[in-house]
A and B are shown apart, each in its own frame.
Chain A
Amino acid sequence: MKFTAAALKEKILKGSLGFTLISMVFGFSLGAIVLLVAGFNPIQAYWEILKGIFSKPKYMSYVIIYATPLIITGLSVAFALRTGLFNIGAEGQYIMGAMTAAAAGYFFKLPMVLHVVVAVALAVMIAALWGGIAGYLKARFGVNEVISTIMLNWTALYLSNFAITIDAFGRSGTGKTYTIQDTAFIDILGHWKRTPEGIEFLRNHPMLWDILKSPVNLGFIFAILLAVMVWYILNKTTLGYELRAVGHNPFAAEAGGINVKRSMVVSMFIAGGLAGAAGAFQVLGVSHRIAKLAVMEGYGFDGIAVSLIGNNTGPGCLLSGLLFGALKYGGSKIQDAMNAPTEVINIMIGTIIIFVAMPKLIRLILTYKSRRGVK
């Protein structure tokens, strides 16, 4: 391994990171073109987005809050994908996790830290089982996981909506559940910031006050830990070795003595657990309850994008999740600032993914450039 500048440049340009960066350039360019055609000034729009991300500490903390669930659902998708499975079901697993966390947070009466641990553990377990169903259906009956997880998504959505209609859980008429117990909150300084001393203190510290205006919580710390965990499991453990072997070549893995079917179930189980953790942190740290869903919220689907843009690795998901969170949060600003549709963000994301999917095209562009450079 050489770490010369040239080697580094080679690595960035020819490696997957380079492909991702080039894809992003395409995504942002196409977004600009779409805005331009629609009669908006793209430079102004991007400036508004940048301002909306960086101009205030509060904005940045919102970006992190937006990014947290996406990072974790991204990890869920990435984990399954490394075993060769497309977990389109992170959405439903997220919903199951959120629902379980909301129920455990509300019904249980437990001391502070323990309550969080129990709620998260239960949420992860239920969501892991939900993901495991898809793994089992694939291993046992050969049902394509793309189809089964999509069906499980909708089933989870309606189950969650049903749970809200139960009198003991949902506040009737509001379409929402009761707020979880304080002991299950994972907000940072959540209580203190509302006490008189807290308000007094914050008045003298405007920067901190600004940050604490947003629902900052421990979720992001957990997301980082989970990203490290995913990286560690995949690259440093025998389990990760097994799952990757199955992902690359199930036939060789089987011949080598690896139980392929078990690996599929385990992989989807863990992926489900991750997505469930995302739902749990969102409930315990941000929403503190769940509400009736008319459509998918999109955390799981966005997680697919996060994973693909992050090259399906732990650290990659962390970065691309932050990027996605920033675009989503910052992108919402152009609606008010210049009446430009915020959905341009989705167009950009879609474009980035389609280019990420075409390394062949990017390689073609790169070699064309270098060939011209020689002549």
Chain B
Amino acid sequence: MTSIDFSRKTVEMIDVVKKFGDFVANDRISLTVHKGEVHALLGENGAGKTTLMNCLYGLYRPTEGKIRINGKEVVITDPNVAIHHGIGMVHQHFKLVEPFTVTQNIILGQETTKMMGILDLAAAEKKVSEISEKYGLTVDPRAKIEDISVGSQQRVEILKALYRGAEILILDEPTAVLTPGEIQELVTIIRNLTAEGKTIIIITHKLHEIKQVADYCTIIRRGKFIDTVEVAGVTEHELASKMVGREVSFAVDKRPAQRGERVLAIENLVVKDNRGIQVVNGLSLDLHKGEILGIAGVDGNGQSELIEALMGLRKVQSGRIRMRDKDITNASPKQIISEHSICSIPEDRQKRGLVMEFDVAENLILENYQRRPFSERGVLDHQEIYKFADQCIMEFDVRPQDAQMTAKSLSGGNQQKVIIAREVSNDPEVLVASQPTRGLDVGAIEYVHRALVEQRDRGKAVLLISFELDEIINVSDRIAVIFEGRIVGEVDAENADENNIGLMMAGGRV
């Protein structure tokens, strides 16, 4: 905390307003950051944190308000101007060109050249190595992006900004994809950077990270400025209630599980990813009636492929999946849904979950359009379809209450409700939920968690996959940790120790 130079304000955003049409994403937000400071920007999904930072980085032009950099008022029309003023940004979804090398990605837009625009990659590689050594950001400058880990990709993004001479670094949700170990490395890197006089702004909604790394924290709620606080002087709970605007309970309200017989058994499962690399490596798992089994793990350890294989969307190379003692390995998605009664809330609701151009009613029958009463002898019965839709809309509280709205005009939370309505009304024996709360606000998150618990209380089995360890611990009855395509440990949620699970998620032994 000694690195802060309070005499120098590097970033001042004053009464910034950003409107998209009639929607006000940022409503008079002010922010001051000093040299050498780590400043956290806290808010729920959709609160307007990233929009504000995109204004600072020149991706958006603020509708109103002023921005000062190092005391001078500036107009940041595009990222080039931001870069010129020493601002660098690491986006939540990395902006890296996959088939390019680390060096090519870093120099893109500010290439080292010989005469006539011919590239000089050797000089570039040397420069990249120099910077990476200075800040302890180890990467292989010649490796291709598609071949390196997510943690390394993030280091490339930071290097990209430093290569451009960034003095102010914006990190958008930097820990979302990292293992606990990698998060520790990132914290070290951030300390190195502030020691060198860099200013860091972190966008996040994770409270313990703010406590761990930030000096000051600005809280935004629904586009409005709430407060700026010194992190050392507040508790996580205080931060949380400022973020949400009311008291929040982290714990999910639920009774103890009534665990029944085994329904689903996965044995020695092997699955390859799109590139043909084996990402599920002999995974075994049991799921029982009346329990929520949470799978904890960092993104990219085979979770997506495991679920796709389970749902019949990806070929199983070897191993076996059994449902109620029937072999369902490599069965078709249709058989798995209708005959074997496994339904899923997919991780990417816009890609796998919904036909965005279809209306709510059409989306609700996606798995059942061939059955009565929705159709008979190949002809759809629209009256029945809309009757069912109206029923679902009431029961699952989808808003607006209009079965003819297209899915794409609904908010993320309501889209998720449509999917949950569809899957739960199938009354499945096993409900698979992958990242079911990603991108949702607190209210919607509580709704989803309640729905999962209700399903469990009705004696059904629930398999929950999430990259948020808090969610896994709060919702699950039993926790299995996945690492490099295997289950490396199992614990009861009752006596789960976050540190132990974190260690297992990173491949360490407990």
Interface residues of A, Cβ cutoff 8 Å to B: 236-239, 241-242, 244-245, 248-249, 251-259
Given A255-B333, A256-B333, A257-B333, verify A248-B358 contact (CB < 8 Å). Answer: yes
List residues of chain A with CB within 8 A of the CB of B375: 237-238
20 contacts between A and B (CB under 8 A): A236-B380, A237-B375, A237-B378, A238-B380, A241-B369, A249-B351, A249-B354, A249-B356, A249-B357, A252-B353, A252-B366, A255-B311, A255-B313, A255-B344, A255-B352, A256-B367, A257-B337, A257-B366, A257-B367, A259-B332
Residues in B neighbouring A248, C-beta threshold 8 A: 355-358
Within the complex, the shortest CB–CB distance from A41 to chain B, in Å, comes to: 45
B residues within 8 A CB of A245? 355, 358, 366
A contact residues around B337 at 8 Å (CB): 256-257
Minimum distance in angstroms from A78 CB to a CB of chain B: 16
B338 close to chain A: CB less than 8 A: yes
B338: chain A residues within 8 A (beta carbon)? 257
Q: Which residues of chain B in 338-391 are interfacial with respect to chain A, using CB atoms and an 8 Å cutoff?
A: 338, 344, 346, 351-358, 362, 366-367, 369-370, 375, 378-380
Check if B369 sits within 8 Å of A252, measured CB to CB: no
Is B334's beta carbon under 8 Å from chain A? yes
Counting contact residues on chain B (CB < 8 A from A), the size range is 20 to 34
CA separation between A303 and B355, bound complex, in Å? Answer: 28
Residues of B within 8 A of A254 (CB): 313, 333
Q: 6 nearest interchain CB pairs?
A: A257-B334, A256-B366, A248-B357, A255-B352, A249-B355, A257-B333
User: What chain A residues lie within 8 Å of B358 (beta carbons)?
Assistant: 244-245, 248
Contact in complex: B351, A251 (CB < 8 Å)? yes
Chain B 302-324 per-residue mask, 1 if CB under 8 angstroms from chain A, else 0: 00000000010100000000000
In the assembled complex, the Cα of A351 lies from the Cα of B375 at a distance in Å of 42
Q: Are A253 and B355 in contact, CB atoms less than 8 angstroms apart?
A: yes
B380 touches A252 (CB 8 A): no
Q: How far is the CA of A238 from the CA of B375 in the complex (A)?
A: 7
Which of chain A's residues has its CB closest to B352's CB? A255
Residues of B within 8 A of A237 (CB): 375, 378-380
Tell whether, in the assembled complex, residue A241 and residue B362 are in contact, meaning their CB atoms are under 8 Å apart.
yes
Measured between beta carbons, the chain B residues less than 8 angstroms from A251 are 351-352
Q: Which residues of B contact A (CB under 8 A)?
A: 311, 313, 332-334, 336-338, 344, 346, 351-358, 362, 366-367, 369-370, 375, 378-380
Residues of A with C-beta under 8 A to B352: 251-252, 255
The CA of A245 and the CA of B364, in the complex, are separated in Å by 12
Q: How far is the CB of A245 from chain B (nearest CB, A)?
A: 5
Which residues of B sit under 8 angstroms from A257, Cβ to Cβ? 332-334, 336-338, 366-367
User: Which residues on the A side are within 8 Å of B367 (C-beta)?
Assistant: 256-257
CB-nearest residue of chain A to B362: A241
Of A238, A242, A255, A258, which one neighbours B379 at CB under 8 angstroms?
A238
Query: In the assembly, what is the distance between CA of A245 and CA of B356, in Å?
Result: 10
- Rounded to whole angstroms, the CA-CA distance of A261 and B366 in the bound complex is 17
Contact B378 A238 (CB under 8 A): yes
Contact at A236–B379, with CB atoms within 8 Å? yes
B380 touches A241 (CB 8 A): yes
CB distance from B364 to the nearest CB of A (A): 11
B269 smallest CB distance to A (angstroms): 19
For residue B117, give the distance in angstroms from its CB to the closest CB of chain A. Answer: 33
B49 to chain A, nearest CB (A): 29
- In Å, the complex CA distance between A282 and B300 comes to 57
Minimum C-beta distance from B368 to chain A (A)? 9
Give the residues in chain A near B362, CB-CB below 8 Å. 241
When distances are taken between beta carbons in the complex, the residues of chain B under 8 Å from A255 are 311, 313, 333, 344, 346, 352-353
| A102 to B346 alpha-carbon distance, docked (Å) | 52
Counting chain B CB atoms within 10 Å of each CB, the highest count among A242, A248, A251, A252 belongs to A252
* Distance between B420 CB and nearest chain A CB, rounded to angstroms: 15
| B48 → chain A closest CB, angstroms | 25
Q: Cβ of A239: which chain B residues have Cβ within 8 Å of it? A: 378
Q: Which residue of A lies closest to B365 (CB)?
A: A241
The chain A residue with its CB closest to the CB of B374 is A238
CB A366 to nearest CB in B, in angstroms, measures 15
Give the interface centre of A249, A255, A258 by most chain B CB atoms within 10 Å. Answer: A255
B369 & A238 in contact (Cβ 8 Å cutoff): yes
Cβ distance B91 to chain A, nearest Cβ, rounded Å: 24
Identify the interface centre among B338, B344, B367, B378: most chain A CB within 10 Å of its CB.
Answer: B378
A253-B355, A255-B313 given; 18 more Cβ-contact pairs under 8 Å? A237-B375, A237-B379, A238-B378, A238-B380, A241-B369, A241-B380, A244-B358, A245-B366, A249-B351, A249-B356, A249-B357, A252-B351, A254-B333, A255-B333, A256-B337, A257-B332, A257-B337, A258-B334
